[in-house]
Structure formats: structure tokens, C-alpha cells
Structure 1
């Protein structure tokens, strides 16, 4: 694991990375505004007249329209959705500064990583030029045309062609100054019997980019027959210092802004599916790169969706309609529990993938497929029911026994009654019968989850440290226990901001000591002592140093979640009130709602940057 970047280097990067250049590189056109300032259209909200101001002398930015602001590091973290460490390393690379690390250096020197990025960029240009100009690439162009992609589409995604020779790319890049060691390390070349040869030959090439747009590897589809090329149909760059397939999503560099803006991500299965979706107007589509959708991908998406404390968006999986696609969907059912957002499935009835659907039925059909998505829980349950003959009593009983555990597996307890009703309707049976089956399944889950017996009252009290809906409460408490001096706004946190009984009790203990720090010997309850030590040693989830600004932001986020709950409750009450018959009560409630909305906006601005 990389060491922590030296504090002096962070200061140097912050002072020497010019914010006007970084802002311009992010696509914001700046004009002189007088007084040493520049202004342009804000990248964080829609506006017609420029209210986004940059002060190069101080390296600050501020939008007078939406209120966001900060320094050059804040800007890049927000626009490129990078961690603090990633941002410092990227800025250092841009200004040609070599970073130093505490407790040992990073696994790969920044300068060497830059060489790997440069080699991939040069390779991508080589491949793209060949696709556009070489007669030998005609079969590659034909394949892409048949899939519905013209030259403009291919240029937009940087699609290229790897020649059929043994070392065309290797010779080209060596002539450009890259060493054999660099090309091997980048996964572009490998050693053959007579020397270095190309890793990819006679294939259509898709450059794979990281979230900031740097090319880290390639996905390649073979063009020769199986007899001519016995390799896999799709071949990806091997793991390299800059390419980790479990941490990369194809198309994310293009989709990230719309994902964050629309709070939606569409997960498809291939490179051409991503291209088809984007060309059809579904600009939040991404795909995994030669690996299954996993935990690292979930973490990336959650950061973009700000999926940490409330239902803030939706994840839509698209799968082929065949057995393999249904199997993938059922795996996603298990992963759903790792999201807080709502998860959906979009499956084309005729078994067409997004690329084929667009090719055969047009852009509208593809957009319609996404629009008709169904909740993942519903899809999983219905998939199980299709395996049984529901026209017979035996079939219905067997279907109930296999579907009930799926309902029991839904972590959100408030959803279970709704799916119990739905399952009863799909089976044509009584709700009470389904409820009994689900309760039985719940008991089996509780007895099999522990090695010997179901969780007892002695362990059930403990909050799950990986529970997404409780993570924010946990982080605030960790900050308070580990660095109390940074939590300057602790008293502003409302009593009901913490929802788990254990967290509520720990907050009460902390408050009972006033301004004095809480020591372990002062905590008498054994459960609280356990939780106290656990949260005192568990690292705070942030990159770089934990600052007062960071702590204030997560405190504000915690309070924002509480206000959001109050707003939802108040809106529900307003819907039940008749404004004519209960005019006074209705107006008072409406006034409270306006005040809460104002408070929420203020807290949201304070919370920006907390993830």
C-alpha cells in the first residue's frame, strides 16, 4: 500500500497547480472578469449567464449561483470524482513534481506510471490511425459498421485496429522512445521466441480509460476465425501498475458527470453495448472490463451516486435474456444489498443485448428498454417462479418454498411486506401463507448465519460496521472519539440524528462528559466499552489527513439526512391534510416544510466533499 504523501508536498502541489488551467482542462471556458479574476459557466449546475469565478492568484474558485467553492484540489476531486490522494498525484504529474511518501513510497514511482500512461496513449493513436486509414483494417471497419457504428462514433470512443503482423506496434513505440521493459509492463508487448512481439494482433481495439480519462489498457475483439486465431474472442490488457480490471469501468470517464447529475448508472456487459447506449442518449452507461461486477465497482458507483446515507439514485443492470444473463442477474441480487440506492434490471424479451437492440430496432427501443426497468427483487422472484408449473398445487408450493427465501433476503425490512403481497398475487395464494413461509425462511437464515446458533441478544445489539445506511453515523462517532478537537460543531447534531440504539447510547455517554474527553475507564457498560474501543481504533474513511473541514462536512451530511427524513414525514402529513378544511394547520405545516428545505440546502452545501 502506498505511504501517505508528505505534507510539504501537498502544500507545494496546492500552491503550484494553477486553478485556471485545471478548470479550463475540465471544459470550462474562462474569460477575464477584471480584478485578477476569470469567470465562466459553472460546471456544477445549469446556468445561462456565467456566475463561476476563478481567482488564479489565490488558486480559489467560487460559484455565486450554486455556492460551491474551494481550491484547486477540491475542484479536481469534485469534477473527476477522485480521492484526495489520487488528486494530489494527478496534479503533481501535471506540474512535473515528484512526490515523496511517508512510511515508504508508492508501489510504482509517479514518473514511471506516467511513462505507462504515455505508452498507452501512443498505442491508442496508432490503433485508431490504422482503423481509419489502413486497407488491412477493412474487415474491422466492416464489423463495426454492421454493428451500427460509423466513423464518427468510432472516433468518439477512440476505437482502433491492431495489425496482424507480429511486432507492428512494438516497433512503432520503440521508435517513439519507449523501452521493451516499459511496453511489457504496460501490457502492450510480450516476449516471443525471437524477441518482443505485440500482445494484440488482428483485433478491433477499445481503449480503456480510468475515471479521469487517462488510457490504462485495452479491450480487444478478434477478427480472425477460430481456426486462424485460437485465442479468446475478447482479450483484455493484463493487470499492470495502472490497470486493475476490478477497479475500472469502461465508459466511466464519459459517463461520470451524467451519473452524478442524474443519480443513475446503467451497467451493461460489453464495449459495444456502452457505445450503443451513449449513442442512443443513455449517457450513464458503463461496463466491466473482462471481469464480473464486483465490490470495487460497487464502491466506485456509490461514490459517484453519493450513495451513503439515503436513497439517492438507481443502478440499472442490463442482461441478455438467456440463461447466462439470468444467472448474472441473480448474482446482482446478492450485490444489491451492498447498495443503498434502488437497483433495477432491464432485460430485452427477445434476448437482444443493447447493441443488437439498437441495431435492429433503433435508439428509441433501447431507451424504452431502460425506461421499462423492473426492480431487481421483482425480477429475481419472477425468475424463480418461472422454473415451476404454477397451474398445479405442487408447483405453487415448490415455487413458494424457493421464492420465500428471496423475500427473506431483502435487507430493507420495509420492502418485505410489499413483496409478500406481490408474491401472493403472482402465486394466487393468501398473503398469510406467504408471510408464514417468509418468516420460516428468516428463521433459517438466522440459524445458519452463525457457526453454532442464531445471534443472541449478547451480539445482536452491535451495529453492522458495513451497513451502508449506518456508515455516516459511524464515521461521525469515530471522528469524535479519535480527534475530538476537530469536531467543533458536535453540539449542533440533533438528538435523533443517530438511529441505531448503540450509536444513540454512545452519543449519550459522550454528552454526559461535557467538554471533557471520554476515556475507556470512564465507560462502565461492557457493550459500550467494546464499541468504544472498536470505533477508537478503526480508521476514519478518508484519503489524506482528517481535517476540521472534512469532519464538519460529514457532520453536516449526517444532519442533512435527518432533515431529509423530517421533510419526507412532513410531506406525507401534508398530503393527508385538506388545505380548505384544515387551513391553519396546513399553512403551519407548509411553513415548516419551507424552513426545512432551506435548512437542508444549507447543510448540503456544507457537506460537499464528505465522500
Structure 2
């Protein structure tokens, strides 16, 4: 994946308004000078605990702990990669991004398109989506499409919910419409909306029902089209947008724009086979359903879902349910899914209706039912899902005549590699025992065969998808203990670090210079204080904007400390600001500095008293310790006097 140049990322961060981006998802209200708050979009709450600092470009939720900058907000809210989030902001800001290398990148596109070109192509698809939808609902010719949808159990209201459309048979209807809206021939061909025919253009889709295919961001990037007429120019039952600068079929899942939030909330994804299956599932209350677009479910799709599911080893497992037709093709698809099972940390399941019906078939069969009953069969299908490995075992055993000893041995050898792939080692022996019962073989013999299969090289354990190229290259960082806010000294440290992050000029330069990181107790506070001193301290902050100051501190701290930097750059101080200067009161800042310095002196006194008790009487070390302790006692007295 190409890496966006650092200076372009910096330009996007500086120009993007975190307030504007957050307002698209959160109702904000003023929460003090330069701060706003609202209900957190990442967890349910009744009292606002989500805050942003507009000048710093930071956000933090004091309820669930998430925080970051405008890029990480988009990554979290829309489940984007770092590159996708930067590209999305660049699109809105009109910034042309440069990459360290060329090739496939971003949102699963083909050759990287310039930002202006991507914007134009997505706008053309938005206009095309509206055109097709109107043709379905309003035109006389669109009745053919409406009848098709009605036969599938869908109403006009359902079609509107999914923006289903109809492509007129007249071969240049869309071309003429888009040309009238100012789009060029080159844009229509490049975007896959039109084909060149002789000296002119013709619509790629003609006489078909269409479903808009959207990127995870909600932008329409392509279409899936179903044939309605026998004399269609293409014999393909389904025809999809060809790969373009904004569309790559392995990089999208139909319905994901609608399903991403339910998938993230429930940590469950349901993978169905077609567009109408997605519609039927969502209308039945299974809002986690998605489908591939003209291609088999593969590794790119797994990466997309893993990111949304937060599918990582070490977490409670997420759940992925595949629904397949009960025919041979469906069984083949299920076995292919099982082959990729090791790419997940999630638990994989398969749901196949007893009579081989898919979700749309079940929806059609219950068309006379109303309300909750209408979608009951689809929900029951999903609820009946069995572990994918069990389905794979039964499918593998099906061709064998288990009444014959020779075939039982062959079946055992065929099924052993499947059982060896069961990741839960405590579950595996139980499954081996069950399968041996199905087969009529000795459990110990089957276990031996499984052990033999297990000793062969296996796929590596799944890792969480990296958010961006930089994250892939970054070494693993050791964790640091969280500050102990039961300790009054660490509370004072926290407030001092807050002041230094939010109002660095409120601190006397000499105080920051004299107060070394070792004076702070909490390791995270020390790391931030060290980064601020390395960034130039008060003098360094004076020449920077508030946002670039926080960015400089982030650059100097290890990643495990970044959430605390974001939190402290947003958190409100426990003291009122000076109404004249808009800065923290001088007395408050002085008290914090003195309190932290006093704690450092007291800690040194404690350490030296221990050394003094062990030093030989009359030795040079003893005399040096005595002198240093006297100095510290005087310093402690001075600090206490100043704090009164």
C-alpha cells in the first residue's frame, strides 16, 4: 500500500476542522473556552462525556477512554484505515496527496487517482444513482424493474431504502444525463459508467435492475446490475462495474455502509451471497449482513471485516456467519471459506436452510406475514448457524460410505486436517470424540491422525490489521502503568502536564527547565514532560500553534502514551481561567509547580535517609549525605512556605 508523504498528512491535519468533522456525528455544545462537548458516538451514555478542543484538534471521551485527532476520529467512527481517513479529508479539503510509491492503495482502488479526479468520479456515481433510482420509481419502462423487485418480495419503500435503480434500455440515457450535468466522456468511461461504441458512448448498464455499491464511507463507487431481458447485450445474469480508480471488487462489500455500525456494536458479521439477500436480511432485522460484489469472499474482504469487528487474538472472539445455498456450489463456497478460517481470530459459523433456501427465498416465502413475523424465518436461519468446522467435517465425510472399513480409513485421513485446524485446544478433543462417533472409529485412532496432520506446517496465527504503513513498521512498544489518581502528587502532576499541553506559556520557562522529568512520579507523566522539554519547552511552544505543539509532544512520546496526551490536551482544568488573559491563574500554576517540586524533594530525602543509615560513621560518603540532606531540608522548608 502506498504511503502518503508526511508533509501532506501534516497539511491535512492542520487544515481539517475537528469541530466540522465531529459535528457530522455528534451534537456539540460549548463547554468552556475553546472546548465543546456532546454525547459520545462510541458508547451509549446519557450525560455528555465526549469533549473536543478545537484549537488543539483533539478529542477525548472521559467515559470510554477513546481519544485522538481528526484522523483517528474518522478511523474510529467509520472504521477506516489511516490512509483512507487522510484521503477522505483530503477530498473534502481539495488537497492533492502525494505518495511514497505508486500502485494499489487507499480504499482498495486500482491505480491511484488524483484527489480531484476521485471527487469527480464519485460525484458522477452519486448523480447516476439518483438517475437510476428515479427511472425505477417514476418511468413506465421502470415497471419491469418494479415487477422484478415485487416478485422478490420488495416494495417501493424497500427499494428507496437501498436506492435500488433501473437502467433504461435506450443505450445513451445515462450518458446524456451525465453530459448535461457537466461530466466529460473521459470521466464516464474512466468511472465505468459508459463504454465506447464507435465514435460515441453507450451506457454500460441497459435494461437492468441496479444496486449501488458503496465504499465503507458511504460514497457510491460502482453498481451491481441484474439482467431482465433475454436480448440483453451481455449474457451475464449479473454485471458489475469494472475495476476503476475508485472501485475494486475485492475491496468492497455490498451493504457495509449500512452494516458497519451494527457489526462493530455486535461484533458479528453475516455474509450472504447476493444483493437481494442483503436486502432481505436487513429488512428482517439482521442488520449485520453484507455480500461480495461479483467475486468470491477472499482475504481482502476478511481484512475489511476484521478491522470493523476488532478481530484480534487475545480479545473475546467476534463472530462471522456465512449463509450459503444448500446446493453443490454453496457447499463449495463454504469449504473455501473454511480454508481461510485461520485468517480470523473470530469464530466462524455457517447457516444453511434445511431446504436450501437463501435469505431472499425465506423472505419471499413469508410475504403474507406482517410485522415481526415477516422476518422471523431469516432471523431463525442466522440463529441456527453451526460452527464452520462442523459443516466442513460433515461435507467432507458425505462422499464416503462409512459402513466400509477402507472408506472409513480414507474418510478419517480426509477429515483429520480439518480437525487439526480447530484453534481452541480445549474444544478439539471433544470434537474429535464426537466425529469419531459419527464415523464409527476409535477416538484414539482419529486423535492420532489429527495429531499427525497437526504436525504439518500450519498458517500463522491472525494478527490485527495494521492501521497504516507507519504502524506496520513501528516496533512494539512496552506498556507503561497508568498514573495513580489516588495519589495527590500524581493528581498535581496531571494538572501541571495539562497546563503545559493546553497553555504552555502559562508556565515560567525557568520552572520547566528546572523541573526535570525525574521529578514526576508517574512514568507516563515523565514521558510527556520529557517530550515537551525536547520540543523546546516554553520557548519551543511560543513559536508554534496550539495544534502543532501537541503534535510535537505526540511525536516525542511512545504510542502507549498517546491516549493520555490526547486526554490531557482536552480535559478541563480544575481551576477557573483568568478572565482577562484567558489563561490559568498564575497562583494555580505556581502551586502545581511547587507541589511537584516538593514531592521530588521529599522523595530524594527519603532515598538519602536510607543511604545515610547504611553509610559508615565519619566516612566521606556519610558527610556528603549529611550536607545534601541539610540542603534538601532547607529547600523543603522554602517550598512549603511558598505554598502557604
TM-score per shorter chain, which class? Answer: 0.7 to 0.9
C-alpha deviation, 1:364, in angstroms: 0.9
**What SS is found at the alignment partner of 2:243?**
coil
Q: Which residue of 2 aligns with 1:380?
A: 392
- 1:548/1:423 CA distance change after superposition, 3 Å: farther
Q: Which residue of 2 aligns with 1:602?
A: none
Whole-angstrom distance in 1 between the partners of 2:89 and 2:53: 18
Q: Which residue of 2 aligns with 1:313?
A: 318
Please tell me whether Structure 1 or Structure 2 has the larger radius of gyration of its CA atoms: 2
Q: Which residue of 1 aligns with 2:282?
A: 278
Aligned pairs (5 A) from 1:97-496: 97-102=95-100, 107-225=112-230, 227-310=231-314, 311-361=316-366, 362-410=374-422, 413-442=425-454, 445=456, 466-468=460-462, 479-480=474-475, 487=477, 489=479
Unaligned runs of 5+ in 1: 450-463, 482-486, 493-545, 557-611
Whole-angstrom distance in 2 between the partners of 1:554 and 1:294: 34
**What SS is found at the alignment partner of 1:297?**
helix
Whole-angstrom distance in 1 between the partners of 2:464 and 2:302: 17
TM-score (norm 2): 0.69
Whether contact under 8 Å (1:476, 1:554) holds in the other structure is no
Whole-angstrom distance in 1 between the partners of 2:178 and 2:471: 51
Whether contact under 8 Å (1:309, 1:469) holds in the other structure is yes
Q: Which residue of 1 aligns with 2:45?
A: 47
Whether contact under 8 Å (1:268, 1:317) holds in the other structure is yes
C-alpha deviation, 1:412, in angstroms: 5.1
Whether contact under 8 Å (2:75, 2:85) holds in the other structure is yes
- Once the two structures are superposed, residues 82-118 of structure 1 have per-residue CA deviations (whole angstroms, 9 ceiling, x without a partner) of 1212211211211222334456798321111111111
- 1:90/1:550 CA distance change after superposition, 3 Å: farther
Q: Which residue of 2 aligns with 1:508?
A: none
Whole-angstrom distance in 1 between the partners of 2:200 and 2:464: 56
- 1:144/1:476 CA distance change after superposition, 3 Å: closer
Whole-angstrom distance in 1 between the partners of 2:125 and 2:383: 37
Aligned pairs (5 A) from 1:21-32: 21-26=20-25, 28-32=26-30
- 1:253/1:320 CA distance change after superposition, 3 Å: same
Quick check: 303-312 or 97-106, which moved more?
97-106
C-alpha deviation, 1:239, in angstroms: 0.4
Aligned pairs (5 A) from 1:491-570: 551-552=559-560
Whole-angstrom distance in 2 between the partners of 1:68 and 1:442: 40
Whole-angstrom distance in 1 between the partners of 2:304 and 2:471: 22
Whole-angstrom distance in 1 between the partners of 2:383 and 2:340: 22
Whole-angstrom distance in 1 between the partners of 2:62 and 2:159: 39
Whether contact under 8 Å (2:307, 2:464) holds in the other structure is no
C-alpha deviation, 1:429, in angstroms: 3.1
Whether contact under 8 Å (1:479, 1:551) holds in the other structure is no
Whole-angstrom distance in 2 between the partners of 1:88 and 1:179: 27
Whether contact under 8 Å (1:6, 1:102) holds in the other structure is no
**What SS is found at the alignment partner of 1:337?**
helix
- 1:60/1:423 CA distance change after superposition, 3 Å: same
**What SS is found at the alignment partner of 2:41?**
coil
- 1:551/1:312 CA distance change after superposition, 3 Å: farther
**What SS is found at the alignment partner of 1:292?**
coil
Quick check: 32-41 or 333-342, which moved more?
32-41
Aligned pair 1:77/2:71, yes or no? no
Q: Which residue of 2 aligns with 1:580?
A: none
Whether contact under 8 Å (2:269, 2:319) holds in the other structure is yes
TM-score (norm 1): 0.72
- 1:396/1:211 CA distance change after superposition, 3 Å: same
Whole-angstrom distance in 2 between the partners of 1:66 and 1:328: 39
- 1:370/1:80 CA distance change after superposition, 3 Å: same
Whether contact under 8 Å (1:239, 1:245) holds in the other structure is yes
Higher relative contact order (CA 8 A, sep 6+): 2
